[in-house]
Structure 1
Amino acid sequence: MSPTRRHLLVASAAAPLAAIVPLAATVPWRSARAQNSSLKIGVLGDQSGIYRDLSGPVAIEAVKLAITDSKAAGRDIPASVISGDHQNKPDIGAALVRQWIERDGVDCIVDVPNSAVALAVASVCKEMNKVYINSPAATADLTGSQCAPTTIHWTMDTWMLAHSTGGAMVKAGGDSWFFITADYAFGHALQRDTSNFVKEAGGKVLGNALAPLQTADFSSFLIQAQSSGAKVIGLANAGSDTVNCIKQAGEFGIAQKGVKLAGLLLFISDVHALGLQAAQGIVVSNTFYWDRDDGTRAFTKRLQPHIGGMKPGMGQAGCYAGVYHYLKAVAAMGIADAKKSGAATVAKMKSMPTDDDAFGTGRIREDGRALHPVYLYEVKKPSESKYAWDYYKLLHITPADEGFRPLNAGGCPLIHS
């Protein structure tokens, strides 16, 4: 299933970042004129770690499909794809992006799970005036205090997740919370935003436990959560950390004791890894579900031959949609003008409505936030699932203009009141 990795990152912990080089180029050497008449898109993901299933090879194939679909729509923009692994380390991610831009002529960076890496990459792209389309990183700071004229944030963020899932849990009676939180930028932001909604709704936060990234044993954190007496344990983590935490909560019999688990960022790949027996009943917020409507099913059908038995999650779908819209803006501007300025290209993207099979119609706000409806789902019981990857039942839809943080509330310096 895994596509060929055309660009690999080789780095020793002791080696200076300047020495990080890819093993092979994605495309043969071309003349300067040829390079100036085509685009290069860098997919910076997690190819081997905790977030591989929500990023990884499927995200790369989604970006390639966006190029194919753009050509089918009559926008024949020459574009190639280069990919790399940031290893969930901000310094490695930032160094690789800088190398791609300076040496390899990359015009657009996409994907980038892990909020700490995402913020580091945003800084490099702003400095070097290149387009940056983030999809799977959740920190709302990308369109808040650290927004940039070169950044677009697709799919979801911590404010949206907290507003949708956290708000629904409090309304359902879950008015006391304890958080198990990934101890880095994403986890802190998700706990912060969810805590604010819990408190605004009249609930209480009884405590939290900070868990290192890639924790194998959550038992001590789950014991703390149980001892707090909270009605809800909020999982402010993602990827295999969330999967391991939910599995171990099942071994502790937490659900049988009347305590609810809130999977604040749960991807469909996580549900698949858990299985419906373990995941049933968990409430999740997603902006994309492969089986939501005819458009999402059509997109998934086109992508399926390239990803084997997997289904795309919302982060990977956001990579597709972001690049598809980017190519639409480039077609409107012309390749030469688009390559000159990432900020000008992002401004063009903001001026055009978005429209694709994965998310439907939408728009991009001045702060770089891509707006689309937010869907609140409950994971089905095994008896309710009728076919492979039939995992979600819809509970509620929040309209696009209500699902994300208000424009003037994020502290984005691009917004002038």
Structure 2
Amino acid sequence: MPFKSTILAAATSALLAATPALAEPYRLGVLTDMSGMNFDLAGQGSVVAAQMAVEDFGGKLLGEPVEVIVGDHQNKPDVGSTLARRWIDEQNVKAIVDVPTSSVAMAVQEITRNADVAFLVSTAGSSDLTGKACSPTTAQWTWDTYALANGTGRAITEEGGKKWYFVTVDYTFGHALERDTSEAVLAAGGEVVGTVRHPRETTDFSSYLLQAQSSGADVVALANSSGDTMTALKQAAEYGITASGQRIAGMLLFLSDVHAVGLETAQGLTLTTGFYWDLDDETRAWSKRFGERMNGKMPTMVHAGVYSSVMNYLKAAEAAGSVSGKAAIDKMRTMDINDFFARNARLREDGRMVHDMYLVQVKKPEESKGPWDYYKVIRTIPGDQAFRPLDKSECPLVKK
């Protein structure tokens, strides 16, 4: 090598050695459903909500930039697990956010537990996530099957709907929702007269609905979600189930579901939600900002929960001085949690974020003032009444 080239190469090597490597940004991974049955209730709206939280926080955590990345788990536990591992191992992801589908969330929770990464659950609803499967790095933020059962199930039973028949989606979430609702119905003096289970993304509910219709039940409970619930609601109307005197209980309904199915079909349904955009000035202000990014679409409780969970995680990690999942979640348990979404809120040792829930009724078409004006709030359910009491938790982290 010529003398000048040798000097230049040596100088370049010395300069590179003396220049500190640029720090990789901290990343939050929104692991959601971007193409399937949960797209409207979570999907792109969850991504936007997480981005809004990072921007409102200032875009940095512990002096380093924070980025939001996105993955589509396709509602498959193996796909979700693979993405979660890759993010943590290769992309400096310090928190995984949202995660529709309880079976996917269960799989991802094991990965985040072992990797000491925060897991901020907004869409998955099985109460087992903070029960027997609980993790020290998880915060289940928005809702769970116990809260829905305790709200909708108890309310309808106390109103006279004593005999229940379940049409249940056959996987982790559906089983948990049926179990928790059955317990609430029995506690309120009702009974379960039968159940039938169906695969996810069913297009023909005729046989299930006919069994429910002939069961003699007062209430036909749809223990499913999203596309399955909307299909079942439409077909129940076609079969004249409500016209015959039976009541339909949509155990999990989102604002986007009501929007898609229409007030003509959904009117009169009682449901439990963790958020409604038109609740007060605070919820309307945040929802307006969200809607401006989402072509006028109003947020579901999932979207509001994503924003709230990410914002409170960032505050906790900053205060803890650490991006360790356990350190951030432990710190969050000591903090006040109070924003447009989380009212009278706290994070418990089992990972359940306890906050007020709302029992609402879907408006009749003539009662609605326009698009997205769909709910009448019947009452607020205080968090301590909405969620499973800690002394009844199966979480091994809870001191007995």
TM-score between the two structures when normalised by the length of structure 2: 0.93
Instruction: Confirm or deny: 8 A CA contact 1:299 1:358 kept in the other structure.
Output: no
Alpha-carbon distance, 1:398 to partner: 1.1
Instruction: Confirm or deny: 8 A CA contact 1:147 1:413 kept in the other structure.
Output: yes
Within the alignment, does 1:377 sit opposite 2:350 as a pair? Answer: no
The CA deviation string for residues 256-301 of structure 1, in whole angstroms up to 9 with x for no partner, is 1111011111000000001101100000100100111111111111
For 1:365 and 1:32, locate their aligned partners in 2 and report how far apart those are by CA, in whole Å. 39
For 1:202 and 1:400, locate their aligned partners in 2 and report how far apart those are by CA, in whole Å. 23
Within the alignment, does 1:158 sit opposite 2:145 as a pair? Answer: yes
Within the alignment, does 1:322 sit opposite 2:305 as a pair? Answer: no
Alpha-carbon distance, 1:252 to partner: 0.7
Secondary structure of 1:295's partner? helix
Q: 1:311 aligns to what? A: 298
Within the alignment, does 1:400 sit opposite 2:383 as a pair? Answer: yes
Instruction: Confirm or deny: 8 A CA contact 1:177 1:231 kept in the other structure.
Output: yes
Alpha-carbon distance, 1:388 to partner: 1.8
Instruction: Confirm or deny: 8 A CA contact 1:321 1:358 kept in the other structure.
Output: yes
Superposition CA RMSD, Å = 1.6
Aligned counterpart for 1:70 among listed residues 54, 57, 67 = 57
Secondary structure of 2:259's partner? helix
Q: 2:350 aligns to what? A: 367
For 2:96 and 2:59, locate their aligned partners in 1 and report how far apart those are by CA, in whole Å. 23
Instruction: Confirm or deny: 8 A CA contact 1:353 1:361 kept in the other structure.
Output: no
Instruction: Confirm or deny: 8 A CA contact 2:61 2:314 kept in the other structure.
Output: no
Within the alignment, does 1:356 sit opposite 2:339 as a pair? Answer: yes
Secondary structure of 1:415's partner? coil
Within the alignment, does 1:34 sit opposite 2:17 as a pair? Answer: no
Q: Which amino acid aligns with 1:390?
A: D
Summarize the Cα distance change of 1:73–1:46 in structure 2 as closer, same or farther, 3 Å threshold: closer
The CA deviation string for residues 221-254 of structure 1, in whole angstroms up to 9 with x for no partner, is 0001001010100110001100000010011111
Q: Matches of residues 188-337 of structure 1 in structure 2 within 5 Å?
A: 188-334=175-321, 337=322
The CA deviation string for residues 192-220 of structure 1, in whole angstroms up to 9 with x for no partner, is 01011111222111111111000001111
Q: Which amino acid aligns with 1:113?
A: P
Q: 1:17 aligns to what? A: none
Instruction: Confirm or deny: 8 A CA contact 1:77 1:327 kept in the other structure.
Output: no
Within the alignment, does 1:178 sit opposite 2:165 as a pair? Answer: yes
Q: 2:14 aligns to what? A: none
Aligned counterpart for 1:53 among listed residues 40, 44, 49 = 40
Alpha-carbon distance, 1:78 to partner: 2.4
Alpha-carbon distance, 1:330 to partner: 2.0
Secondary structure of 1:53's partner? coil
The CA deviation string for residues 379-401 of structure 1, in whole angstroms up to 9 with x for no partner, is 00001011221000011111112
Alpha-carbon distance, 1:304 to partner: 1.6
Summarize the Cα distance change of 1:308–1:325 in structure 2 as closer, same or farther, 3 Å threshold: same
Q: Which amino acid aligns with 1:355?
A: N
Instruction: Confirm or deny: 8 A CA contact 2:26 2:61 kept in the other structure.
Output: no
Q: 2:392 aligns to what? A: 409
For 1:193 and 1:361, locate their aligned partners in 2 and report how far apart those are by CA, in whole Å. 23
Alpha-carbon distance, 1:374 to partner: 1.1
Q: Which amino acid aligns with 1:349?
A: M
For 1:213 and 1:51, locate their aligned partners in 2 and report how far apart those are by CA, in whole Å. 12
Q: Give the unaligned 5+ runs of structure 2.
A: 1-19
For 2:334 and 2:141, locate their aligned partners in 1 and report how far apart those are by CA, in whole Å. 16
Secondary structure of 1:145's partner? coil
Alpha-carbon distance, 1:361 to partner: 4.7
Q: Which amino acid aligns with 1:343?
A: K
Q: 1:23 aligns to what? A: none
Q: 1:136 aligns to what? A: 123
Alpha-carbon distance, 1:355 to partner: 2.1
Q: Which amino acid aligns with 1:368?
A: G
Summarize the Cα distance change of 1:360–1:294 in structure 2 as closer, same or farther, 3 Å threshold: farther
Alpha-carbon distance, 1:316 to partner: 1.3
Larger radius of gyration: 2
Instruction: Confirm or deny: 8 A CA contact 2:105 2:124 kept in the other structure.
Output: yes
Secondary structure of 2:124's partner? coil
Identity score, percent? 49
TM-score between the two structures when normalised by the length of structure 1: 0.89
Instruction: Confirm or deny: 8 A CA contact 1:191 1:236 kept in the other structure.
Output: yes
Secondary structure of 1:330's partner? helix
